[in-house]
Structure 1
Amino acid sequence: MGAARSAETREDARLKAIYTAESAWRKAQRGGSDDENDETILPVLPSVDEATQQAKLVHWTKVMAQLDALKVEVLSPAEKVNYRVFRAQIAVLINGQKFRYYEMPVNSDSAFWSELSDPPINSFKTAEDYSHYLSQLNDTPRFFSEEVANMRAGLAHRFTPPKVTLEGRDVSIATIAEAKRAEDTPYWKPFATMPSSIPESRQGELRAEARTAIEQKIIPAYAVLLKFFREEYVPGAQEALAAESLPNGKAYYQAKILEYTTVDLTPEQIHEIGLHEMAGIHAEMLAAIQQTGFKGDFPAFLQYLRTDPQFYAKTPEELLMRAAYISKEFDGVSARYFGYLPRQRFAIRPVPPEIAPFYTSGRGGPGVYFVNTYDLPSRSLYSLPALTLHESAPGHAFQIPIAAEHKDLPKFRGAYISAYGEGWAVYCERLGTEMGIYHTPYETFGMLSYQAWRAARLVVDTGIHSQGWTREQARQYLRDNTALSEHEVDTEVDRYISWPGQALSYYLGELSILKERHKAEASLGAKFNIRAFHDAVLETGSVPLPVLEEHLDQWIAGGGVGPYPEMER
């Protein structure tokens, strides 16, 4: 026993040394930031040039070799989990470099420039923060030139998003490239209101430096980017939609499936799962329609929902206030479903106008729930409860802060794994039925439409990227099977086309959590505690689905006692 324990201790130490050193390397690569979600204002932007990308590949290949040399069977239970999470993370990073993901730093949903133009306002607390930000502003032309070089390399070997998904995406660049003053750009936001702890004289100096940096560095850099985007990148982008049409496309798409779902399924298997799930959800949707008293058929009901003014907010403020009310409804029942509640609260804000036309209906995370108030006739009120549970609490603005409170986990465990995070958020939509959040059959239908939307993604994503579906086929499938508005159908399909595999994570993640819950209910019977189950799901932080399922199986075998028993009674 002593020898076994000694071997475990030695191998644990080896693993810890590997991931500690690797985390320190990544921290240095990010200019001193502890993790990729850290909103500390750093004085530099990352290097993204070809030499840096190749150095990353060499580094992560060496790390993988070190991991493969470990004796996994003698690791302690906690370190076995760390090993599985870390190894999966390194495998994704290696694939990213091998398939040269960095040569496509833009898709229909997001881009490197839009991420920079939304500075984390709440992180600006000291004069040093502002000085660091000014260094970033002055470094932006260099950073943009490296990203453009990567995009040109992608153009050279047909590794670009499909051209159709880039139409109109130049607006977010033009908004800044054509600005007349620093104050007309989002980069000025941190300087509009500065902390009173900074002397007024120093505030004036910082504002003057910011005005110079934005007008002499930022706006010209965006102008160069705009010219490249309009004259070279979009005209030269590939016409084909499918990921499998890209260089080494089948392997590339399979790598994206593994990255986003964390499970080893083929496109064909996922497509069939989607078709099967859609049939079951459709039956639930028909039952909800019957409860409304509507007399027409399914297409007529969808048309009714998409066109009747009663289902849409009249003003952006109304939409935001409805979302706020729903989030407070959850607060009123949260203690019945969760033993552990996060300390961090969240704000509700409109999506910034420069990106709203191509943005999803909402997006949440630590500290904020963004609601898209652009094109109000596309933002249905009957779907808002499901959207709010997904993006705010108990979804992303709940789960991510809880994960951040697990201070005993290694830094790499802070990375977001889509299948876990999105699977949890979609599960929360279903949970809204038990929590009493849906007050009308229309709101229940909205939730079911969202479930259908996520199940439809399994069909549409694989249809586009491995079965030759056209854009119109994908759009029609969403029109026929969900209550999404025409605007949402268009933005969603373009998102799936330009972001292969990501859309698969949501429903497959939810299925994994539901499978474990059904198993727990059957095994534990009267001892099943919903609060303990939810706490057990959330205590791991983001992990691959096989790791989560193994963790929950062990929780069931141990009698279903949650990690915070004093809170779950």
Structure 2
Amino acid sequence: MGFAFALIGATPAVAVGATPADQQLKAIYDAEWVWRQKEFAQISDGLRSESDDHFPAIAPADWVRRRGYWQNVLARIAKIPVASLSPEERMNAAVLSESLRAEIANIDFRTYEAPLNSDSYFWGEVKPYSALENADDYRRYIGRLRDVPRWFDGNIANMRAGLARGFTPPHVTLAGRDKTIAAYVMPGAANPLLDPFKEMPAAIPAAEQAQLRAQAQAAIDTQAAPAYAKLLVFFRDTYLPGTRQTVSAAALPNGPAFYRSQIREYTTLDLSPEQIHQIGLAEVARIDRDMKATIALTGFKGSFPQFLAFLRSDPQFYAKTPDELLGFSALVAKRMDGRLKDVFTTLPRYRFTILPVPDAIAPVYTSGRGGLSACLMNTYDLKSRPLYNLVSLTLHECVPGHSHQAAMALEAPDRPAFRRQTYFSGYGEGWGLYSEWLGTKLGMYRTPYEEFGRETFEMWRAARLVIDTGIHSMGWTRAQAIDYLSSHTALAKLDVEIEVDRYISWPGQALAYKLGEMKMRELRAKAEAELGTRFDQRRFHDTLLNMGSVPLPTMEAEMLRWIAAEKARPASAPAA
């Protein structure tokens, strides 16, 4: 579902001068958060849950019960006059309301009956990819290992219900995903589920480490690994053969309404597929002109397709070893570190690392992904990972993109826990793409090839607007989508196919990036025009990121208020 559930610190006390409406709202979201922790105990991205050592209940009755609870929360929030709320609580109300609206919509469409797509799958949530920090963390993880059979059985039951009504990911997008299950079926020390026990904190006594490791091995051998083996048989013999042969969301039960709901969830905007398709076509045409101008700067004399063929085949653009690729990304991140003082006035203390995508999932994983604790770079099939794209990718996923953004959200002062753990793709992915563009203002692209890499990434996101709506609303085929993305970008063939399969199996998600970035650049342009020489990008970025992840209409309203306040502030007055 839409939340990343993990408890971060204590909920802030009611602010001094809080209105009665503020206090009323706080009582609602505090209670909802306590309830949510009990419902969805998880270990997520290095943030430790204080809840029990199990996975959530996922039977249909559990989702119906949650829907009733959340509907009641929304009704109570709706009774609070927005004008009576303080600025921060106004955002809290908007964030929680939009989040719960999306959760309720997904329950209504029974999306829990398809707990997987080409990119993400429930069985990948068992193993934590961030380090566990103390003995209690390890005990919670062992508890989860013991709970895997129940949790997998519940998901299998839901998947059977999805099969029965034709609510599945498209068959073509699930090829090879059985390998991500197969890696975990063997007993013994080689099972990747035991990886967190290979290097344990020195603060845990050696004897206790040995005891925990033995308990984990027993849980893996007798419970978790057999559950993965059972899932693998079900996936190969029953689920995959029964998945739908169509690719469009429109072919699902109540498909057109479901697609509109997904558009709203991921973009937080009320735009039709037709409107988004036209926005995409206009952006593709604009970026195409930019790309051709950049090609001219390289001195290349051939056609656009010939230039793409040159980029995809010339060894100078590719790393020879995984460490070379990781090192290039680390260099980009470190170069960006030197410019952060020009981008923000306040920097987070939390640090991230750069790691390779785990081998078990790398063949079907995206090129990179950034999170609070780690920024993952895919080193599988190096001939598909051109270095000229890596500047943009690192800025987007690592810094000042997602890893930096997550640290800012973690350390934001006086913010309710639900705000720190709510993620809107339009805001979050919009910032990632904006971060790529921001590199043009900071000298991050050193060659025309690296600038072309940025442009091909921007084209990639613009083409998504065309492809996603084309597939899910206008009858496009998978081959048509692959041809469109291949002919407009320098992405490798493997990336093109993985990305198109992601759009097919995850309707609407791909729309968030470009629409969010366009809104942020539109607001920046407005601020620059209205503030003139008084415009300070550091204060603009501070305000944009310090509000945390919010719906795009909320972001726009808050940034317009900031622009008005900046205009009203006397030139000699200190910044607030």
Q: How does 1:197-236 map to 2 (within 5 A)?
A: 197-236=203-242
C-alpha distance in structure 2 between counterparts of 1:242 and 1:375, whole Å? 29
Which residue among 103, 122, 133 is the counterpart of 1:124? 133
Alignment equivalent of 1:25, drawn from 10, 16, 35: 35
1:4 alignment counterpart: none
CA contact (8 A) 1:39 1:120 kept: no
- Please identify, of 208-217 and 225-234, the stretch whose mean Cα deviation from structure 2 is larger: 208-217
Name the structure 1 match of 2:84.
Answer: 74
**Which position in structure 1 is the counterpart of 2:9?**
none
Does residue 93 (structure 1) correspond to residue 103 (structure 2)? The answer is yes
Cα gap change, 1:561 to 1:123, in 2 (>3 Å) = farther
**CA deviations over 1:304-357 (Å, ceiling 9, x no partner):** 101111111011110001011111000111111211111111101000011001
Equivalent positions of 1:28-427 (< 5 A) are 28-31=38-41, 38-40=47-49, 42-117=52-127, 119-126=128-135, 128-177=136-185, 179=186, 181-414=187-420, 415-427=422-434
State the partner residue of 1:453: 460
Deviations 1:264-312 (A, max 9, x none): 0000000000000111101000010000000001111011101111111
Aligned to 2:558: 551
Task: State how far apart, in whole Å, the 2-side matches of 1:291 and 1:519 are.
Answer: 31
Equivalent of 1:526, from 521, 528, 533? 533
- CA distance in structure 2 between the aligned counterparts of 1:212 and 1:183, rounded to whole angstroms: 10
**Residue deviations 1:356-376 (CA, integer Å, cap 9, x gap):** 011000000102110000000
Secondary structure class of the residue paired with 2:375:
strand
131-140 or 482-491: bigger deviation: 131-140
Compared with structure 1, are the counterparts of its residues 36 and 326 closer, same or farther at alpha carbon in structure 2 (3 Å cutoff)? closer
What amino acid does structure 1 have at the position aligned with 2:132?
A: S
Q: Percent identity?
A: 50
Query: Residue 434 in 1 paired to residue 405 in 2?
Result: no
Deviation at 1:48, TM superposition (A): 1.2
**Paired residue type of 1:527:** R
Partner SS state of residue 250, structure 2: helix
Q: Is the alpha carbon distance of 1:30 and 1:364 closer, same or farther for their aligned partners in structure 2, counting shifts above 3 Å?
A: same
Alignment correspondent of 1:537: 544
- Separation in 1, partners of 2:160, 2:241: 12
Aligned residues: 556
Distance 1:568 1:245 in 2: 54
Q: Distance in 2 between matches of 1:435 and 1:72?
A: 40
Q: Could you tell me whether the CA contact under 8 Å between 1:555 and 1:561 is conserved in 2?
A: no
- Closer, same or farther: CA 77–124 of 1 in aligned 2, 3 Å: closer
Q: CA deviation at 1:418?
A: 0.6
**2:12 corresponding residue in structure 1:** none
**Superposition RMSD in Å:** 2.0
Aligned counterparts of 1:345 and 1:560: Cα–Cα separation in 2: 35
Q: Counterpart in 2 of 1:488?
A: 495
- 8 Å contact 1:138–1:218 — kept in the other structure? yes
Contact (CA 8 Å) 1:40, 1:123: kept in 2 or not?
no
How far 1:185 moved relative to its partner?
Answer: 1.6
Equivalents in 1 of 2:541, 2:514: separation in Å?
18
Closer, same or farther in 2 for the Cα pair 1:561/1:185, shift >3 Å? farther
Q: Secondary structure at the match of 1:369?
A: strand
- Compared CA separation, residues 210 and 36, structure 1 to 2 (3 A): closer
Task: Provide the rounded CA distance (Å) in 2 between the counterparts of 1:34 and 1:354.
Answer: 20
Contact 1:338 1:531 in 2 (8 A): yes
Residue 506 (str. 1) matches residue 516 (str. 2): no
Compare 439-448 and 13-22 and name the one that shifted more.
13-22
Contact kept? 1:528, 1:560, Cα under 8 Å: no
SS of the residue corresponding to residue 355 of structure 2 reads strand
- Quote how far apart the aligned CAs of 1:465 are: 0.4
- Residues 492-547 of structure 1 show CA distances to partners (whole Å, capped at 9, x for unaligned) of 00000000000000000000000000000000001011111111111100001111
Write out the 4+ residue segments of structure 1 that deviate beyond 6 Å after TM superposition: 33-37, 565-569
Deviation at 1:36, TM superposition (A): 9.1
Residue pair 1:531, 1:568 contacting (<8 A) in 2 also: no
| In 1, Cα distance between equivalents of 2:352 and 2:438 | 20
For the Cα contact (< 8 Å) 2:46–2:373, is it kept in 1?
no
| Deviation, structure 1 residue 14 | 2.0
Aligned residue type for 1:421: G
CA distance in 2 between partners of 1:340 and 1:24 (Å)? 31
Cα pair 1:403 1:541 within 8 Å, conserved? yes
Deviation digits for residues 31-60 of structure 1, max 9, x if unmatched? 4x6999834375111111222111111111
Deviates more, 1:260-269 or 1:552-561: 552-561
CA contact (8 A) 2:45 2:129 kept: no
Distance in 2 between residues matched to 1:399 and 1:10, nearest whole Å: 32
Deviations 1:202-224 (A, max 9, x none): 22222222211111111110110
1:155 maps to a residue whose letter is L
Provide, for residues 429-457 of structure 1, a one-character-per-residue CA deviation record: whole Å limited to 9, x for no partner: 01111111111000000000000000000
Partner secondary structure for residue 184 of structure 1: coil
Question: Structure 2 vs 1, CA of residues 185 and 309 (structure 1 numbering), >3 Å: closer, same or farther?
Answer: same
| Secondary structure of 1:385's aligned partner | helix
Structure 1, unaligned runs of 5 or more: 1-6
List runs of 5+ in structure 2 lacking aligned partners. 1-16
- Could you tell me how far 1:73 is from its partner in structure 2? 3.0
TM-score (norm 2): 0.93
Q: 1:30: Cα distance to partner?
A: 2.2
**Per-residue CA distance 1:89-133 (angstroms, 9 max, x = gap):** 11011101101111111100010111213x14422322x322222
SS of 1:182 mapped into structure 2: coil
How far 1:72 sits from its partner (Å)? 2.5
